[in-house]
Amino acid sequence: MGKIRVLIAILLLSGLLAFPVSAELKIVTTTSVLANPLETIGGDRVTVVTVSDPGLCPNMQADVIANIVQVKQDFIRNADLYAAHNGSIDKTDIMPVIDKFMAANNFGNVTWQTPRDPNQNWNTPASALQLAAEEKGWLEKADPANASYYEGRYADYIPKIAAQNLTAEEKQKISGQDVIVMAWQKNAAEDWLGLHVVSVFAPEFYQNGNYTPAKIVDDINAHPEKYRNVRYVIENMQSGEMAKGIEETLHAQGINATRVIFTNFPKSVNGVNSIPEVLAYNKKLVTPVSVQTSTTTVPAPLDSICVIAGIGAAVLLARREFT
């Protein structure tokens, strides 16, 4: 018996035999938005799998979500935490697919962890901080033994989000610029960046179809003076390209506006892998060159694959309220 104990001690010291201090938390998320805070705050205590492609609005992916779930089924069936928005992003086309998969295979029922507000957004520093705080709570509830670890990583994460608030110099240069913006990015344009929204555009179902790109084009042609100082036309990447005609009409009226494409999802653009990087990326798109500093890290232009994937997606937006 004494020899066995000595052998076990030698194996433990040599690293050939090891017992984990705590089990790794397995987490399934419906989107990369939810995944990023969980991965960042969770660190090496978690493994996160996401079941939707960040390059498109999740509710446009109903035809492929079931296949993704099948591919990742071994992880999904054994997950410790399931996280979803429980809103228009995933309530109809992602959550039921996972629920049915688990039930059909007798793997048990899914208990979803969701934000208190199903319309909780993350495209401003303030809203991103709120989401991160909620997700820290999910981790602490699921794994209280590592609560202090999560708290420490959360404390390191939130300054990266807060750093995307406008500096005094950025506020002077960015705020007040006239823009036309996709409706889902209106709050970011106004509440965070301080841009002057001249008009919004959106799919047919929004506001009784009064703000479709075609309607905005008609308004520009009828009232060009209203749009004379428009500097940017802001698209929402996950909603597909909708505003090319708006940009072209502005140019035809002699208005030198630039169409830019904000993103809402980490990992939808090369090098943009976190919510803080999403905010930095979007901010850079409407920052005049004179105020851009070397300390602002902005990745490469939009991934061409994501742009191509978005073409024509607007026709599928009938169920979309916000992405």
For 16-51, what is the HEC assignment?
CCCCCCCCCEEEEECCHHHHHHHHHHHHHHEEEEEC
What pLDDT, on a 0 to 100 scale, did the predictor assign at position 3? 44
Residue whose C-alpha is closest to residue 239's, from 285, 204, 207, 287: 204
Angle at 220 between CA 218 and CA 226, to 5 degrees: 140
For 86, 90, 95, 179, 268, the CA distances from 114, given in Å and listed in that order, are: 6, 11, 11, 33, 22
Residue whose C-alpha is closest to residue 124's, from 166, 84, 155, 93: 166
What pLDDT, on a 0 to 100 scale, did the predictor assign at position 288? 87
Q: How many helices (H) and strands (E) does the chain have?
A: 13, 8
168-319: what CATH class?
A: alpha beta
Torsion of CA 143, 145, 146, 152, to 10 degrees: 120
Question: How crowded is residue 172: how many other Cβ atoms within 10 Å of its Cβ?
Answer: 12
What pLDDT tens digit does each residue of the chain (323 aa) get?
444 444 334 433 433 333 333 469 999 999 999 999 999 999 999 999 999 999 888 877 878 899 999 999 999 999 999 999 999 899 999 999 999 999 999 999 999 999 999 989 999 999 999 999 999 999 999 999 999 999 999 999 999 999 999 999 999 999 999 999 999 999 999 999 999 999 999 999 999 999 999 999 999 999 999 999 999 999 999 988 999 999 999 999 999 999 999 999 999 999 999 999 999 999 999 998 754 443 334 344 444 333 333 434 433 433 444 44
What pLDDT, on a 0 to 100 scale, did the predictor assign at position 63? 80
Residue 220 corresponds to which tokens in the numbers above? 């520009």
Q: What is the pTM of this model?
A: 0.81
What pLDDT, on a 0 to 100 scale, did the predictor assign at position 56? 84
**Domain layout of the chain by residue ranges:** 25-162, 168-319
Angle separating helix axes 244-252 and 213-222, nearest 10 degrees: 10
Task: Tell me whether strands 25-29 and 81-83 are parallel, antiparallel or unpaired.
Answer: parallel
Tell the CATH superfamily of the 25-162 domain: Nitrogenase molybdenum iron protein domain (3.40.50.1980)
